[in-house]
């Protein structure tokens, strides 16, 4: 009789472990497109992303690099002082977007150009995303905002 209880207990534990593994795999599969890692231009040059990988690119909009095409397409370069990456975005830019300003874009690489699906700009004159500040500090070009 004890061996029957022991077998049943082992079967229940095995089924529970299999269900836990299956649910973990399903959650991971569902989240694969919802996770986008942040990269600075220098990190992007050092380790290129996998083809089709969605990620966030952040830095400063390079002075003199903004080119507005016919329609809503805008091309510009994002830099962190160590490297510069060309960006193309089709859509309406945030009001605070401008040269020399901090920006974070979400998108994918197409050749050597980052194709942004979303552009975020700082929301006041002193704010800059923490990831962008860290990337600029790593390159030694970050300056504290004047209060």
Residue showing tokens 């990456």 = 85
Q: Are 66 and 111 in contact (CB under 8 A)?
A: no
Per-residue CA distances from 87 to 51, 98, 111 (Å): 17, 14, 11
Kindly state the DSSP code that residue 38 receives in the 8-state scheme: E
101: left (phi over 0), alpha (psi -120 to 50) or beta: beta
Spatial CB neighbours of 94, under 8 Å, sequence gap ≥ 6? 119, 120, 121
Residue 82 annotated as binding?
no
Residue 140 annotated as binding?
no
* 3-class SS of residue 108: strand
Cα(100)–Cα(79) distance, rounded to whole angstroms? 9
User: From the annotation, which residues make up the binding site for heme?
Assistant: 123, 127
User: From the annotation, which residues make up the binding site?
Assistant: 123, 127
């Amino acid at each position: 009789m004890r061996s029957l209880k022991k077998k049943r207990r082992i079967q229940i534990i095995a089924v529970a472990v299999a269900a836990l593994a299956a649910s973990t795999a399903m959650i991971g599969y569902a989240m694969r497109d919802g996770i986008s890692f942040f990269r600075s231009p220098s990190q992007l040059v050092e380790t290129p992303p996998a083809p089709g990988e969605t990620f966030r690119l952040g830095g400063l909009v390079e002075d003199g690099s903004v080119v507005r095409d016919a329609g809503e397409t805008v091309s510009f370069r994002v830099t962190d002082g160590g490297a510069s990456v060309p960006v193309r975005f089709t859509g309406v830019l945030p009001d605070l977007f401008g040269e020399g300003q901090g920006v974070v874009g979400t998108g994918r690489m197409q050749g050597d150009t980052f194709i942004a699906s979303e552009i975020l700009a700082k929301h006041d004159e002193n704010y800059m995303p923490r990831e962008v500040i860290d990337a600029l500090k790593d390159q030694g070009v970050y300056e504290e905002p004047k209060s």
